Structures are given as structure tokens and as C-alpha cells.
């Protein structure tokens, strides 16, 4: 891995994020981040993820909703699961690093190249609403020099 990697906090507020409401009873891409040109993301096993999800009425059910994070190629045809699919309960912690969700990647980590996607998908018995929902992924990024 290049030496110039820096910590990167990716959230739903990032201007590059594409957000959408989920559909009940099917996997739905709630957040999608296409890695910009000249940037590479690195995800290591010690990196963390936190999610807060709401449906039309309140926070989703911890025992019914599932979350996964995927790396997808630009065409969307090649997919690598980086986290989950786990119950929402496993990823809803934001404060305690010992309880936060950790990515499931090899010891050397996983790289998401420019133009590839970092996607958070949700499966719930209700329609997840992206507006009150949010996430935070604490990972690394490298800016490639021209």
C-alpha cells in the first residue's frame, strides 16, 4: 500500500454520495459512493462502520433489518462483499470502537479503485428512508499524483 494514505471519514453527507430510499423486502442500495478519479480507498479489518436506519415511522427493527457493504466495479457486474450481510443491530454503534462494526476483509485489506463503487445496501421488512438515516465509515484514502 502506498505510504501517503490518510484516514478518511466517509459519511452520507459527502457530496459524491448518491442516496435512495430502500424498498421493503428486497436488497436496496441506500448509499452509493463512486470513488473519484485520482483517488483509491483502502479498507482494513480494523476500520469501522456505523449506521442508523429509519423506515417511514421510526428506527428499523434491529432483529429484522440487515446491512451489507459492497465493492462494485463500474459496470456493477463484479461485486465483493466487504461487510455483512449482518443484522442492523451489529452496525448501529457509533461511539464505542469495541462494539462498532468492523469490515470483513483479508488481513492486507481491500482496495477500491477510482470509478469503482462503495455501496451500503439494506434489506428490511419496511421501506428504509434515506433522509433521516445516516452512516459513517472510517477508512483510508490515497490521492494519486498526476
Cα 15 from Cα 112, distance rounded (Å): 18
Backbone angles phi, psi at 22, to 5 degrees: -85, 165
Average predicted confidence (pLDDT) for the chain: 93
**For residue 106, is pLDDT > 60?**
yes
- Give mean pLDDT, residues 60-78: 93
Strand partners, 102: 48
Q: Look at 62 and 36; give whichever has higher pLDDT.
A: 36
**For residue 1, is pLDDT > 50?**
no
Q: Please give the pLDDT value at position 56.
A: 84
- Give mean pLDDT, residues 63-82: 95
Q: Look at 59 and 2; give whichever has higher pLDDT.
A: 59
Domains in the chain, CATH or no CATH each: 6-143 (2.60.120.1180)
Instruction: Spell out the residues 6+ positions from residue 77 whose beta carbon is closer than 8 angstroms to its own.
Output: none
Amino acid at each position: 500500500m502506498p505510504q501517503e494514505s490518510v484516514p478518511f471519514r466517509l459519511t452520507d453527507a459527502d457530496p459524491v454520495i448518491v442516496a435512495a430510499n430502500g424498498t421493503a423486502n428486497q436488497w436496496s442500495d441506500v448509499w452509493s459512493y463512486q470513488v473519484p478519479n485520482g483517488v483509491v480507498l483502502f479498507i482494513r479489518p480494523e476500520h469501522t462502520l456505523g449506521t442508523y436506519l429509519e423506515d417511514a415511522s421510526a428506527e428499523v427493527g434491529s432483529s429484522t433489518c440487515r446491512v451489507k457493504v459492497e465493492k462494485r466495479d463500474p459496470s456493477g457486474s463484479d461485486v465483493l462483499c466487504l461487510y455483512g450481510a449482518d443484522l442492523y443491530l451489529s452496525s448501529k454503534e457509533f461511539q464505542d470502537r469495541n462494539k462498532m462494526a468492523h469490515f470483513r476483509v483479508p488481513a492486507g485489506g481491500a482496495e477500491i479503485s477510482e470509478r469503482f463503487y462503495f455501496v451500503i445496501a439494506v434489506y428490511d421488512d419496511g421501506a428504509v428512508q434515506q433522509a433521516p438515516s445516516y452512516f459513517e465509515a472510517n477508512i483510508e484514502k490515497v490521492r494519486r499524483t498526476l
